[in-house]
Structure 1
Amino acid sequence: MPGPDVLLYGVPLAFVAGFIDAVAGGGGTITLPTLFLMGLTPPQVVATNKLLAIFGSGSATVQYARKGHIEWPLVGRLIPLALVGSALGAYLVHFVDPAAFRTLVAVVILGVGTLVLLNKRFGLDDRYPGLTARVLALTLPGAFIVGMYDGFLGPGTGTFLMFLFALSGFNLVRASGNARAINFATNLGAFVFFLIGGQMVFWIGLPMGVANALGAALGARMAMLRGSAFVKWMYAVIVLLVAARLLFA
């Protein structure tokens, strides 16, 4: 078991991860390697990461909700599907080769990032039409699939959710708010599951969680202040980080 000195780098890195995750997703690309570096076992890493993630995603959700950047009528319909998908993904992890799946997802997320960047207006304007048949046909299965990915592997879940919401017509600020709300729900569900398993290292996860929440609050405020153009730039950076994490894990 590591000593308290690991918090000297763990806490500031959790803060940075919270900031990044609140803007464009992908905070796990920082927190997961950090927890491994501390010397935790793989089950402890996964469980402790969920502990600190509920702080960050919860903090970001509150910030976006206060400014009206979460479309609750839609998000409320998607959360149950994301939770069911997450549970199924956690089950399927025993039957699918994670290495091959990581490579496939890395290619997909790079493709998603390329589409976002090549379309100069993508995600900059808010054109959400409401709960139309097209929106529901896109987001209902999309939330289930992304939730399943979150339960199976995880890195980049928020980034995929943002792309899903942007395709539905939201600008990237509102897409980020919606993604954080669903992420909070899936993190909370996973937290309860891992809490029962008894693998969480609370003396590491709690202080890192507080730092993650503070970083997330700042990141959400920065995203809302700077607008969708800033979020789009951050999104491009996160796509590269997530792809590298998946390919070289």
Structure 2
Amino acid sequence: MMTEIALLCVAAFFAAFVDSIAGGGGLISLPAFMITGISPHMALGTNKFSSTCASFTSSIKFAQSGKVDFKILKFLLPFTLVGAVMGTHTMLKINAGYLNSIVMVLLLFVSIYSVFSKNVGMEDKFKVLKKKSIFLGILLAFSLGFYDGFFGPGTGSFLIFGLIYIFNFDFVRSGGNSKVLNFTSNITSLSVFLINGQIDYRLGIPAAISMIIGSRLGASTAILKGSKLIRPIFITISLCLSVKIFYGIVK
């Protein structure tokens, strides 16, 4: 059992490190929880517990470095919360399987677009907060809050890409704001798992500690190295997520 926990902690550390930079940490952490032999629902709940601790940690780090825009987030966060509540309740009633194909196509689009649009997210070109941007930001926050509560994979990557497109942020600033939004939807979904007793604290607490360390180091690396580091990792994670989902469809 101690060996399993040790390996889980290593996977959790790397998952949080990657997630704090470009999203997609669940690609590493969720399979690691599944390998321990706990049920799928317990794995999802325990992973959500640990990843919520990680997203909180990286959110603080980005905020301390001035990479979080609370003047914008004050409009977006309430809609992320509402979306996550609705998405989580919907998830309890509807099979999320049919979303696989849609998510795979969207992730492929995001990664391919980022490959060929080499200047996207490389410079922070945000100037003035416009009503149109606020409206589009609200739509993004609500939609991805709902999606994170309902299904989840790729939420961080979609948020980063969406914030770059709407507000002309660079990858670092977009990553900081996306972490706060992601934390909001994470903690909302986590509350549902808590109520239903779907968290294994024996695994979740050690993994959470590892994720806190990994997320803090990852956020520091992203802030220090900037968009030149984040862009290739972002593209790689988006492609890996789409391949993983495709594999799940054809399996």
- Report the TM-score, using the length of structure 1 for normalisation: 0.95
Distance 1:97 1:202, change over 3 A: closer
Are 1:220 and 2:192 counterparts?
Answer: no
Give the equivalent residue in structure 2 for 1:187. Answer: 186
TM-aligned CA deviation for residue 102 of structure 1: 0.7
- Report the TM-score, using the length of structure 2 for normalisation: 0.94
Query: What per-residue deviation string (whole Å, max 9, x for no partner) do you get for residues 193-242 of structure 1?
Result: 21111121001101101101111111111111111111101101110121
Among 147, 163, 166, which residue is 1:165 paired with?
163
Give the equivalent residue in structure 1 for 2:152. Answer: 154
TM-aligned CA deviation for residue 134 of structure 1: 2.2
Decide whether the 8 Å contact of 2:75 with 2:134 is kept in 1.
Answer: no
- Which structure 1 residue ranges, 4+ long, deviate > 6 Å from structure 2? none
TM-aligned CA deviation for residue 96 of structure 1: 4.9
TM-aligned CA deviation for residue 97 of structure 1: 4.6
State the distance in 2 between where 1:76 and 1:194 align.
Answer: 26
Give the equivalent residue in structure 2 for 1:229. Answer: 228
TM-aligned CA deviation for residue 126 of structure 1: 0.7
Give the equivalent residue in structure 1 for 2:35. Answer: 37
Comparing 15-24 with 55-64, greater Cα deviation is found at 55-64
State the distance in 2 between where 1:72 and 1:24 align.
Answer: 20
State the distance in 2 between where 1:150 and 1:244 align.
Answer: 19
| Letter aligned with residue 42 of structure 2 | Q
Are 1:67 and 2:65 counterparts?
Answer: yes
Give the equivalent residue in structure 2 for 1:86. Answer: 84
State the distance in 1 between where 2:101 and 2:36 align.
Answer: 26
Give the equivalent residue in structure 2 for 1:140. Answer: 138
Query: What per-residue deviation string (whole Å, max 9, x for no partner) do you get for residues 149-193 of structure 1?
Result: 111110110100001110121100000000011111111112222
Q: For 1:180, what is the secondary structure of its paired residue?
A: helix
What fraction of aligned residue pairs are identical, expressed as a percent? Answer: 31
Q: For 2:242, what is the secondary structure of its paired residue?
A: helix
Are 1:53 and 2:54 counterparts?
Answer: no
Among 116, 121, 124, which residue is 1:123 paired with?
121
State the distance in 2 between where 1:231 and 1:14 align.
Answer: 19
TM-aligned CA deviation for residue 103 of structure 1: 1.3
Q: Point out where structure 2 has 5 or more consecutive residues left out of the alignment.
A: none
Give the equivalent residue in structure 2 for 1:18. Answer: 16
Aligned residues: 247
| Letter aligned with residue 156 of structure 2 | G
| Letter aligned with residue 201 of structure 1 | D
